[in-house]
Amino acid sequence: MHPAYGAGHATVAGACVTILKAFFDEDRLIRDPVVATANGESLTTYSGSDASRLTVGLELDKLAANISIGRNMAGVHWRSDYTQSVLLGQRVAVDMLYRQSRDYIEDFCFSFTTFGGGEVHIGEEGVKYRAPSEHSAELVLNGSNNGHPDRLSRNSDDQTATALLSIV
């Protein structure tokens, strides 16, 4: 018997892609994209209609989807396992970046687009999240002394978990 949710491949893909989008400029265009030839022995220029609009972030999102959906096609998971597990991985990555921030000596800032199209900003002030339909960001996790990761208590862990559920 194989459990459905959380899909391990999808959760790890969601976490890894989120970290990569936080560290790299996801809006950067991919210049001169290439694809494998039919026999897989060489590369050729990609000439699809979207060739001039491929970005690092969109390609990373596709990578997470392909890793996750491949398990669905194998009959191991349902589509809902993919969609929810990628979000679970994203939340794990945000939690890790937030908690690890206590170890950063220099000024830092991570920003990325969520799988749901929202925006997350992780900095010294905490974690801000702007949902796709909202015009302004909301502070969902505080970075001050009473909420900073190195001073978390059990109650703060509950608050952190609740706050992370709002990020999609």
The DSSP code sequence of 45-112 is E--STTGGG-BHHHHHHHHHHHHHHHHHHTTSS-HHHHHHHHHHHHHHHHHHHHHHGGG--S--EEEE
Distance between CA atoms of residues 20 and 112, nearest Å: 9
Distance between CA atoms of residues 84 and 79, nearest Å: 9
As annotated, the active-site residues are 2, 9
